A and B are shown apart, each in its own frame.
Chain A
Amino acid sequence: MSIENVSRRNFLGGVFSAGALVLAARILPEEALADTNEYHGKAASAALRPSIYLGVEPDGTVYIVTHRSEMGTGIRTTLPLVAADELDADWSKVKIEQGIGDKRYGDQNTDGSKSIRGFFVAFREAGASARTMLVQAAAAQWGVSASECKAQLHVVTHTPSGRKLSYGELAQAAGKLPVPKPEALQFKPKSEWRYIGKESQIADLADICTGKAVFGMDVKRPGMLYASVERPPVMGGSVQSMDDKAALQVRGVKQTASIDPFKPPYTFQPLGGVAVIADSTWAAFQGRKKLKIEWNNGANASHDSEQYKKELLETARKPGKVVRNIGDVDAAFAKGGKIVDAEYYVPLLAHATMEPPVALAEFRDGKVEAWVPTQNPQAVQDTVAGALGIKPEDVTCHVTLLGGGFGRKSKPDYVAEAAILSKKTGKPIKLVWSREDDLRFDYYHAVAGMYHKAAMDDKGKTTAWLHRSVFPSISSMNDASSMYGFNVEYGMGLNDMPFDIPNHRAENGPAKAHVRIGWLRSVANIYHVFSGLSFADELAHAAGRDPLEYQLELIGNGRIIDFKSQGVADYWNYGESYEKFPFDTARLRKVLEIAGEKSGWGKRKPGNGWGIGVAASRSFTSYVASVVEVEVDKNGKIHIPRTWQVADVGMVINPDRVRSQFEGAAVMGASIALSGEISLSDGRVKQSNFNTYPVARMNQAPLRTDVHIVESSALPGGVGEPGVPPFVPAFANAVFAATGKRVRELPFSKHKLV
């Protein structure tokens, strides 16, 4: 990664004045940046500009661009805070700008809880480089040594004489200096951090509270029309015949247009169907109701969730592909002792972002400009280009605020729909998904059937553990014949169970996808950690031991897990190097121990409708323990008075946003456990809106969640996702403690608890 002075290259178009110091931090080869004199010709239009850079204007304004998408984590504020801190900028003089999609700036897919992990260094270097250059410029002007000068809060001071120059006054001269090499940079000592690790507020706070914030749903263009699409009810289906006469009679409806079905595999392509185009969202919705369409339903028309569940669980009873092996579980089971086994099941889940998918696209002169709530603007460029047969660089993707993402808005099928319709109609098209569309045509979180079997010696120690998991894989997205998962899914709770057991085997059995499979906040961890940590609780009870104590015993001593020697050939590790981010069970033990202390674990005896449960897991390189307290009333109604989320996420930049993510993860975990289920019959999704796909409301969510952040100087880990996985089993374990009912199949709403 390197940073260079691009002020003299006109790289940023008209955004900066000629005298500005402009730094671009990049993680791409030099040539990628060097061949460009111009930025889409759009940089001058101010509001939306490219990725990682930082600029200081002669008027003192510091521009920091964030190229990651804001969907509620606070990243749009947090990454700029890192650069501003190293620059020792006055935050009130910082302007944050949202980067558009552009691959020259490296990864922009705001996904996998990796924005800070991936870009902390880049933003830190950008800030430190600018500070260094400003100090050098001041020293040169005064004819003194740079070591006698100090940058502080937008001013460089010559310490011995007390002379001062502001960043703005120095910007022009600093802009003429070479950019220091990253290895020559000196970072501020922790004691001088101004923003990192301190409380700060998100940049969009006031706009959000007053209704001024601009989400994808809120964008408008002159001459724009609205579109709503009737899609094939069965995945892979297509239009056989269509009658739009009645639809065209609806007041406000302008025309209809077809969208071709995808060519397998489904990737990010639209599902196809018929669009109604109108002068308001409402008219488009109304017109759509009047379409008469006969469908070819294709091979998935007989898909039935109940039947599929049976198949998954049967497959989980049979040997599968081995993805990790320690010792010999079969020999251990043959020896006898106490054997415990159980089946677990988690249904399909939908993202249900508060803002449904929506996109505004304008096709003009062979190029597309799009305004989109997307986690993945470069995939928007590629997908739209693919759909229209144009080049990705001819697609400009402006990124709005996202009304939630959770992985759904990494997949730009909805943007391709808008672009196709814009090309067909010659108008800017705003394509709005209804909530029903969102729940029926999602890229669903995979359904999974799992089987666990363990052997225990006469002291209650677990000596063998077999874990089998069967689920339709995300890889079906790119491979229509996919039957097995891949290392990303395995590395989320299947081949990285942290327990120190002499005989352990993890297996993956075959399953075919009949709906589009995607990723939802914390992905395969949801089903693997739910089943694994629920089963750990089952083992504790079978051994007659305290569940928290038993989980600690299962984890064993603090150690770095050596996956290579355990038959894990390609351990995923969330895309990080294992040397930098090893799986350290000491950190896992620590979050569990703190969770025990904070929650007063063991002080009150569970039963009679009150219970407490615990679980811990590592995901996205962070370590999290959840403790959940429940009350279950006589009617089986569940109340969550209190939960504790203890998180070791490494170094923390923005503590309030870390807390808020873990508070939110508890609520999402509650939704998954209480009521999350998408199911199909005749290949059609049965759920339609929040009445049939309920998510936790205020009176169902935890009344109080205490987040404890473990003080750490380790490299920053993920924050957005790791709070979800342990919450769900901790909740189920609490329900067991309260009622004696072991819920092995989600959601709870399917079971009578009392």
Chain B
Amino acid sequence: MIKVKINGRERTFDGDPEMPLLWFLRDELDMTGTKFGCGAGLCGACTVHRNGEAIRSCTTAMKDVAGKTITTVEGLSANGDHPLQKAWMQANVPQCGYCQTGQIMHAAAFLKKNHHPTDDEIDAAMSGNICRCGTYQRIRAAIKTAAKEMA
């Protein structure tokens, strides 16, 4: 039996401990804001926070989140008003939108460490997150807007 705290709530899991967290979130808890894009740690669509750090939930087994604290996009802010979410809406970042929760979650962990990121630092930090629709320049702009608000 694995215990894990997700968005402030204690959850238990008694399936295959090798199953990635992504499928526990999506298939069992119906928390579908975390997306499946590649299943191999290559696209970032499945990004969540484990003890505050951005991880790829598609390649993180349930046994590796036992006793940990997980935050998903559903728990990022109470009213969808995290500075990144506000900046995202202000810049009209999303096109299809499928990658965007992963982008926001990755950016949120990044901004906690770097309050005044440069273009190059943003590019380096965000290049693990693919957006096939090509919203990168707006993502970069939105991260800067949010960084200003958070600083």
Contact = CB atoms under 8 A, between A and B. Distances in A.
Interface in B54-80: 72-74, 76-77, 80
Contacts of B111: none
A665 interface: yes
Given A210-B73, A211-B74, A434-B39, A698 B23 contact: no
Given A280-B28, A282-B27, A660-B92, A401 B135 contact: no
A209 B96 contact: no
Contacts of B137: 663, 701-705
Contact of A210 (B85, B128, B130, B133): B85
B91 to A, nearest CB: 10
A209 B36 contact: no
B43 to A, nearest CB: 6
Given A201-B89, A435-B38, A208 B136 contact: no
B89 A205 contact: yes
B36 A206 contact: no
Contact of A217 (B32, B126, B129): B32
Nearest to A211: B33
B151 to A, nearest CB: 21
B86 to A, nearest CB: 9
Nearest to A668: B134
Contacts of B28: 280
Contact of A72 (B23, B97, B139): B97
Interface in B84-114: 85, 88-89, 92-101, 104
Contacts of B127: 697-700
A703 B119 contact: yes
A218 to B, nearest CB: 4
B140 interface: yes
B6 to A, nearest CB: 13
Contacts of A705: 137
B8 interface: no
Contacts, number: 192
Looking at chain B, what size class is its interface with the partner chain? 35 or more
A203 to B, nearest CB: 11
A665 B100 CA distance: 18
Given A280-B27, A699-B123, A201 B96 contact: no
Interface string B40-52: 1011010000000
A171 B96 CA distance: 35
Chain B interface mostly helix, strand, loop or mixed? loop
A204 B16 contact: no
Nearest to B32: A218
A210 B88 CA distance: 10
B92 A71 contact: no
Contacts of A698: 122-123, 126-127, 129, 131, 136, 139-140
Contact of B42 (A282, A403, A689): A689
A251 B17 CA distance: 11
Contacts of B140: 698
Given A215-B35, A660-B95, A691-B42, 17 more contacts: A72-B133, A201-B89, A209-B88, A226-B27, A354-B43, A354-B132, A403-B96, A432-B36, A434-B39, A665-B134, A689-B38, A691-B40, A697-B128, A697-B129, A699-B124, A700-B127, A701-B134
Interface of A: 70-74, 201-202, 204-206, 208-215, 217-218, 220, 226, 251-252, 280-283, 285-286, 352-356, 401-406, 432, 434-435, 656, 660-661, 663-668, 689-691, 695-705
9 contacts: A201-B92, A353-B96, A354-B99, A664-B133, A667-B131, A667-B134, A690-B40, A690-B42, A703-B119
